[in-house]
Amino acid sequence: MAQGMLQGAEKEVAQGATSGSFKHVLVLGCGHMGGALVSRWGEACSDSYQQAEAVATRLPNLFSIIDRSANAPLGTGSLLPPRFRAYASLNDFVQSDKPMVDALLLAVRPQQVLPALSSLLASDKALLSPSATIMSLAAGLPLPRLRAELNASLTSAPPLFRVMPSIPVAIGEGILLISSDGEEKADDDSSPFALVRELFAPMGRSVFCSDELLDKGTGLWGSAPGYLFQMIEAFAESAHALGYEAEQARILAFQTFRGVGIFAEKQHAEKKLLPEQLVESIALSGGTTEAGLRVLRDKETGLVPLMRKAGELAYQRAQEMEKEMGKEIGAKIEK
């Protein structure tokens, strides 16, 4: 459509768009992770965030969110921030006559991704702009599988990304592993890589890596919040067993993890201290920390072999899930 022919909401979005950002992002699925991202984008669009962070608005002008679950953490339409629109189904979105989408985020469960993507691409109405960027959060669904699905339905080859966020994105303190089968071109702030980086900027720290590393890292970084919650629980439990009140023990454990994380990062940034040097700096010979560390540093049973084992098992599970997904989707197609 020629620029001069834009109408209504479409005109509003196109005119208001800032350079270096997507204009209209469609988020499909708003459960735990989709909800965390959406709530952070909501915050990042607010005036108070922009003032506090001293950033110019480089976020999309419109977020459309589709989730069929009554429990989706979106609230009712009237509670949504101004740039956000929520729909209970793809059909409702299609009827809404919103402008074309230039970025699609698939935030449904892994086994729901390919069916959801194929119904979206099969819609009679052109929902995606021809160069729309597609992003998937799904664990265990590699880029070639997603690309094959897109190739089967589209004549163009849209930019494709996988994003593996950790749950603290909800407060802007997450990490995001991002992979793509495209090539990044430097110094182009309207390239898909730059736009994806900008979109996720309010979430924490993004790291671009190969799809293989993203897969392998899922069991480590994506699951890390679960592992650390477990460690917080272990600290609180040990303190409680020593006689601390349960809630007092939890508060001490939360503050310990928070304080140590910030302190370690600062020491590394300012003095280039490595984690092992930080350990040495606190584990004085003959002291209490050194005594406790003997258990945690055991080569066979200590934290390092334990973390490796946990990461390996989680990666193994991701591979099993990928196979299960293949069978499940295959069975649906045969029916």
- Residues forming contacts to ligand NAP in the complex (CB under 6 A) are 29, 31-34, 66-69, 72, 107-110, 112, 116, 137-139, 164-165, 167, 222
CB-wise, 133 or 249, nearer to ligand NAP?
A: 133
CB-wise, 120 or 195, nearer to ligand NAP?
A: 120
CA 239 to each of CA 101, 245, 290: distance values in angstroms, whole numbers, following the listed order: 52, 8, 19
Select the residue whose beta carbon is closest to ligand NAP and give its number: 31
| Cα Dmax for the chain | 78
Query: How far, in Å, CA of 319 to CA of 241, rounded?
Result: 39
Nearest distance in Å: CB 291, ligand NAP: 36
Nearest distance in Å: CB 247, ligand NAP: 26
CB-wise, 44 or 321, nearer to ligand NAP?
A: 321
CB-wise, 133 or 239, nearer to ligand NAP?
A: 133
Nearest distance in Å: CB 230, ligand NAP: 14
Note the helical H segments in the chain: 8-16, 32-44, 47-53, 90-95, 110-122, 143-153, 192-199, 211-217, 224-242, 246-271, 275-282, 288-296, 303-334
Of the candidates 176, 104, 106, 169, the one whose C-alpha atom is nearest the C-alpha of residue 141 is 106
Nearest distance in Å: CB 69, ligand NAP: 3
Through-space distance between the first and last CA atoms of the chain, rounded to whole angstroms = 39
CB-wise, 116 or 264, nearer to ligand NAP?
A: 116
Nearest distance in Å: CB 67, ligand NAP: 5
CA 22 to each of CA 16, 59, 103: distance values in angstroms, whole numbers, following the listed order: 11, 7, 7
